[in-house]
A = this chain, B = another copy of it.
């Protein structure tokens, strides 16, 4: 059944582990206890090349100053996380979401982030088809703003276990359909192995996304067995069952040459010493991704 589901899988060889950290990016949320300044310093010391900044890490800081600090440390800003959450039960809340996303785009521009990741949103009880329509309308409403700011937008399909309240876009196929319908080079997709690893259409949809030139970002972590929390029990690469390296092979065979972004939400990891955790992250990256 493997070959039929996935005709290119046999052809694309699973790549070797990364030989260095030149494409390693870490999301600030991964080391949440660290203030942005500590994260930047420690990432740079560990040889990490890129940083994706979560908005909570910017709180109380001027984005342009954060931009200089990150540049001075020798790191590249890969993206800002996150905008989105477009659906709402009334026009007022949907308009507020558009305005909030316009502010976030300005923040991304000042931070020097070339990409804003979108968690598209869902509202319990709102039909998913209606949420998807509102998501498209929301993205189209902020599109001129993003284009003018030079900030691209990445739709991140979320795992179906978040379809109730976080995103009505739950497969790469849906994200590809959405970006194809919008039809702008500004709007592409972020592939996160945690959300998509289970999908037997993942490899052909990665190729389709790349064929549309919409493959904008690649997030990695692992799925622990058992997983004890729907949100905050992600694993470090190698701690779970996701075929990370195989999926990275599909990305690279499709032409993706961007960063491999480590994005781990884990109360367990946040409670440990973040310095030794960072060492483990780099080791896991080099051995299991």
Q: What residues of B have a CB within 8 angstroms of the CB of A230 in the complex?
A: 161, 226-228, 230
Measured CB to CB, the residues of A under 8 A from B are 1-2, 5-6, 9, 124-125, 127-130, 132-133, 136, 159-161, 163-165, 170, 174, 181, 197-200, 223, 225-228, 230, 240-241, 243
Contact flag A226-B6 (CB < 8 Å), given A125-B241, A132-B1, A241-B124: no
Min CB gap A236→B, angstroms: 15
User: Majority SS of interface residues in chain A?
Assistant: loop
CB pair A160–B127 under 8 Å, yes or no, is no
Give which listed residue, B125, B164, B228, contacts A227 with CB less than 8 A.
B164
CB pair A200–B174 under 8 Å, yes or no, is yes
Q: Give bound CA distance, A155 to B278, whole Å.
A: 43
Of the candidates A127, A132, A226, A241, the one having the most CB atoms from chain B within 10 angstroms of its own CB is: A241
Q: What residues of B have a CB within 8 angstroms of the CB of A125 in the complex?
A: 241
Q: What residues of B have a CB within 8 angstroms of the CB of A128 in the complex?
A: 198, 200
Closest chain B residue to A122, Cβ basis: B241
For the complex with contacts A124-B225, A127-B243, A163-B197, 6 further pairs of A-B residues with Cβ separation under 8 Å are A124-B240, A129-B200, A160-B161, A161-B230, A164-B227, A170-B198
